[in-house]
Structure 1
């Protein structure tokens, strides 16, 4: 472990990345414990923070922490030591964990923390951990790109081509993630064909893409729901059977019926978009006084 830390992490300048990962995991674990204690109404644990009647979500503190530590990383980039960068990276990781823990709220623009859609936050956290872990191991995203040629070449054509290829890769990843295929988007960053497959196939029914694109297309939404249930059915059946087995009452028929009930409850269409805030609606211009006078 020590040899790996010295030879593969510190020697390659990845200590800040490791500290970011540790800070991220620590922040996520602590905030998850905190919200569960708050939900359980444990008396000795501080409750939700409020400003008047407004509940202050912990992602607000995450945004502030990310902003301050990010500025620190940029400001000290030239003269920073690994120790300084590691401290700031740890703070950045903690802040990022607070933000991603409420990623579903940002994604759906409503508080779904304890709802089925709230699992999107957990998926986002797992993706962040997985991506950081791959980078820590030295794996580069968009492996089809020639990074060495980009560094060595001064030709504008090579640089433009590299930038366009990378932008296309990121765009496809964004589409795939918007379709609710978090893990496909993750591994697709390191294996591009997965992004193409994920981008052209149906969205998951509860994903933002389905809400944006399938709201007025009931047949497409029905296909997405049927497909999601078809792929999730064996997984849920296995999960319930294992739970029954541990409880000492394994029953295949119960696993089937319970799985169907869970699929009916959890695999549903994406929630409709919230109505626009009154302040965002276009205002009607007041008619000139002369027009009223003329009407009279």
Structure 2
């Protein structure tokens, strides 16, 4: 039985996950030329599903803000927000790169963003909300303890993000012990933390690089198989559009040359 206070969040979680899975299934069928599905366009313009996703997310968000304590309205808002978020996150890579990278390596960021968002919403729906228990009505000691825990959670989450562990940082916001462990361990090479604090410590940088290489060798093939299962196989990234040379300088030179020739001929005839 779902608690009434968590029902809207649970509906948002289910809507997000189901929308993403259904959308990926439909796009893969369209790509394979199977089924009754096809791309939607208007006036020769392909309408990506991120467009209705933004509209639904906005409607759901404003409805949630204005619904007050009405459980039915909040539940409807949760469904609309979940559907909209699922459509938007499915094309998150296109938003980041401002290019149609849906089936390319750059587009795999959509899978990562969706997994992180789904994990965060799922944890919130399950009751792992670190900022839910407010200290109102408690003693001063309770207020101090709550503030210290909150501050520690925020600081350790910031350190984890700075160390290049985005996924761990998101999970750690809801389960603080995860960020405490991740914040103590070595940063990933290339992260802001490594650039700032490992610059003059080559030994620590070598350890971080070796640890990251071992981790990637172990988990990257598994992650790749998971992404291929969800998103389909990759295609080569689209080649950048060739930039046409600016004809203006050449045209100006031709005009200047013709003008110079005309002046010489005029001076010679005079």
**Structure-2-length-normalised TM-score:** 0.60
In 1: Cα distance, 2:178 partner to 2:108 partner:
23
Q: Does 1:202 align with 2:187?
A: yes
Q: 1:128: Cα distance to partner? A: 2.5
Q: For 1:1-296, list aligned pairs within 5 A.
A: 5=1, 9-10=2-3, 12-42=4-34, 44-49=36-41, 52-53=44-45, 55-78=46-69, 80=70, 82-108=71-97, 110-141=99-130, 147-148=133-134, 150-152=135-137, 166=150, 169-170=153-154, 173=157, 176-177=160-161, 181-192=165-176, 194-195=178-179, 198=182, 201-203=186-188, 227-235=211-219
Count of residues paired in the alignment = 217
In 2: Cα distance, 1:194 partner to 1:23 partner:
27
In 1: Cα distance, 2:98 partner to 2:145 partner:
36
Q: Looking at CA atoms only, which structure, 1 or 2, has the larger radius of gyration?
A: 2
| Structure 1 portions without partners, runs of 5+ | 241-296
In 2: Cα distance, 1:44 partner to 1:23 partner:
23
User: Once structures 1 and 2 are overlaid, which stretch shifts more, 100-109 or 65-74?
Assistant: 100-109
Q: 1:93: Cα distance to partner? A: 0.5
Deviation by residue 1:88-142 (Cα, 9 ceiling, x = unmatched): 2111100011112223334455544323343332222222222233223322326
Q: Could you tell me whether the CA contact under 8 Å between 1:176 and 1:185 is conserved in 2?
A: yes
Which structure has more RCO (C-alpha within 8 Å, separation ≥ 6)? 2
CA RMSD of aligned residues (A): 4.2
**Structure-1-length-normalised TM-score:** 0.56
In 2: Cα distance, 1:239 partner to 1:16 partner:
31
Q: Could you tell me whether the CA contact under 8 Å between 1:172 and 1:195 is conserved in 2?
A: yes
Q: 1:27: Cα distance to partner? A: 1.0
Q: Could you tell me whether the CA contact under 8 Å between 1:100 and 1:121 is conserved in 2?
A: yes
| Structure 2 portions without partners, runs of 5+ | 225-270
Q: 1:43: Cα distance to partner? A: 6.9
* Residues 235 and 21 (structure 1), Cα distance of their counterparts in 2 relative to 1, 3 Å cut: closer
In 1: Cα distance, 2:73 partner to 2:107 partner:
35
- Secondary structure of the 1:23 match is helix
In 1: Cα distance, 2:22 partner to 2:177 partner:
37
Q: Could you tell me whether the CA contact under 8 Å between 1:38 and 1:48 is conserved in 2?
A: no
